[in-house]
Structure 1
Amino acid sequence: MMFSVLKVRVGEILLPGDEFCCGPKDTLPLTDSGKSERLVAGPGLRRSGDRLLYVPAKGETVIGIVTVKSGDVFKVDIGGSEAASLSYLAFEGATKRNRPNIQVGDLLLAQLVVANKDMEPELVCIDGSGRANGMGVFGTGGLLIKVSLGLVRRLLAPRSDLRADLEQLFPCELAVGMNGRVWVRAGAVQQTLVLANLLQSCDAMTAPQRQQLFRRLQQGAF
């Protein structure tokens, strides 16, 4: 219900970090009858004055950008209502003497282990066994874009037809975060740009429209 309210209000789906402005007495028609009710912040939302901030959830795998190195902790932009913290020990094989080589501006694939309205978000780049399992620094030479959470779920589906179609166009690498960020890299810069534009275009396309566009690309008519 809360997602429907947000879509009616701003005309688009909000992603983690997006702001939704509303007054303290704002009302919205929540049913077909047109009856207005007070706006209430549900799970994943936090009200700050006249704004509703969408916050990420524990357990999500997200793509973050390192913004600050401060002592034993990195600050990471995950597109949420505030930056997340990441300990230098939260990497596979990291010790006090063997610290990971992390720089400001690096991209990270990480998992949220703390995410609620009362505490600073906390990330790790290891699973429960202490293994990286695909997490950590990545992203050299690729392109980071923002897409809807609906498209993210389609890309992460076990048998994603969208992902299969992309890989048929060009051999490519994809990293997908539940915070609406996708990193893509192909064999050439031009191919990377084509795939990035295609992903963003697919957000507003039906399956037949997407298939038609893919055929045009394969035929070299795009």
Structure 2
Amino acid sequence: MSETEEFKPYTILPGETVSLDKYKNEKDVIKIGPGLLHEKHQISAMKAGTLKNYNNQKWWIDSSQRRYVPSLNEHVIGKIIAKTQDYFRVDIGSAHSALLSTLAFEGATKRNKPNLEIGALVYARVSLANKDMEPELECISATTGKANGFGELKNGFLIKCSLGLCRSLLNPNTPILTALGEHFAFETAIGMNGRVWLNTADISNTILLSNAIKNSEFLSAKEIKQMVKELVKQSEDDMEL
């Protein structure tokens, strides 16, 4: 049995092939994400950026692109911009709006459809991503068929961030959310399309936390802890007033 090599992120250019076998164990199942294409038994880069991975299983190219390009099974936050009897049209920040079927919700039937108003926010999964077709969304899990957190996002506050920051926030050990969670109670939904939904019991804390998340992008873990410490003190001072 050959030993796996330790992976270190590196810069990659469009057209370069990527060999991932040397980084994975026999039981690892490789999933490729944005920027990578699996075709003719090889994986190649579709854009320039930094090749990254999570647990040697999920691989993607991290770049400074501003416009979101939908990728299959990614979680996104969208805004309803139009609706018909059978579909909602959703803005997800990509070149084209996405379609969300009124039946793509847990428990939805032809007689029992969700009644989402224009302007409502939804947390959804990309179920179709093809460069020649409009992207399609679903508000149910691909594995369980249940909502699993997908659906309308009520109340809360929407933050627009860079795509890179949103991807880093999906890491269970991300420093900023870990540090904030030690002092504040909040709900969050993270879309890989550069949008974060945040909800707290106090609007002042919502603004405080949203600014902290946006400001954390280029800070080290140590700097993030110091920033959160100062925010906690500021919050306590505001409560005393």
TM-score (norm 1): 0.74
Counterpart selection for 2:204 from 187, 190, 196:
190
Counterpart selection for 1:130 from 142, 145, 157:
145
Cα distance change, pair 127–4 in 1 and its aligned pair in 2 (3 A): closer
Question: Partner amino acid for 2:154?
Answer: G
Counterpart selection for 2:184 from 163, 167, 170:
170
Gaps of 5+ in 2: 1-12, 14-46, 51-62
Counterpart selection for 2:113 from 99, 105, 108:
99
| Structure 1 residue 149 displacement after superposition | 2.6
The 8 Å contact of residues 176 and 213 in structure 2, kept in 1 or not, is answered as no
**Hey, what's the Cα distance between the residues in 2 that align with 1:196 and 1:183?**
9
Gaps of 5+ in 1: 6-11, 18-54
Report the equivalent of 1:20.
none
**Hey, what's the Cα distance between the residues in 2 that align with 1:209 and 1:3?**
29
| Structure 1 residue 87 displacement after superposition | 0.5
Higher relative contact order (CA 8 A, sep 6+): 1
Question: Partner amino acid for 2:131?
Answer: K
Counterpart selection for 2:72 from 34, 50, 58:
58
The 8 Å contact of residues 113 and 122 in structure 1, kept in 2 or not, is answered as yes
The 8 Å contact of residues 139 and 183 in structure 1, kept in 2 or not, is answered as no
| Structure 1 residue 80 displacement after superposition | 0.5
| Structure 1 residue 13 displacement after superposition | 1.8
**Hey, what's the Cα distance between the residues in 2 that align with 1:169 and 1:151?**
21
Counterpart selection for 2:220 from 197, 202, 206:
206
| Structure 1 residue 4 displacement after superposition | 4.0
Deviation readout 1:119-153 (Å, 9 max, x if unpaired): 1100001123321111000131x110111233222
Report the equivalent of 2:99.
85
**Hey, what's the Cα distance between the residues in 2 that align with 1:176 and 1:168?**
19
The 8 Å contact of residues 208 and 231 in structure 2, kept in 1 or not, is answered as no
Counterpart selection for 1:144 from 147, 154, 158:
158
Q: CA RMSD for the aligned pairs?
A: 2.0
**Hey, what's the Cα distance between the residues in 2 that align with 1:193 and 1:97?**
40
Report the equivalent of 1:119.
133
Matched, 1:14 2:29: no
**Hey, what's the Cα distance between the residues in 2 that align with 1:169 and 1:139?**
23
SS of corresponding position for 2:231: helix
The 8 Å contact of residues 169 and 217 in structure 1, kept in 2 or not, is answered as no
Counterpart selection for 2:232 from 215, 218, 222:
218
**Hey, what's the Cα distance between the residues in 2 that align with 1:189 and 1:198?**
14
TM-score (norm 2): 0.69
Deviation readout 1:66-109 (Å, 9 max, x if unpaired): 10012211000001111000110000011011111211111101
Report the equivalent of 2:90.
76
SS of corresponding position for 1:90: strand
Question: How many percent of aligned residue pairs carry the same amino acid?
Answer: 43
| Structure 1 residue 174 displacement after superposition | 0.7
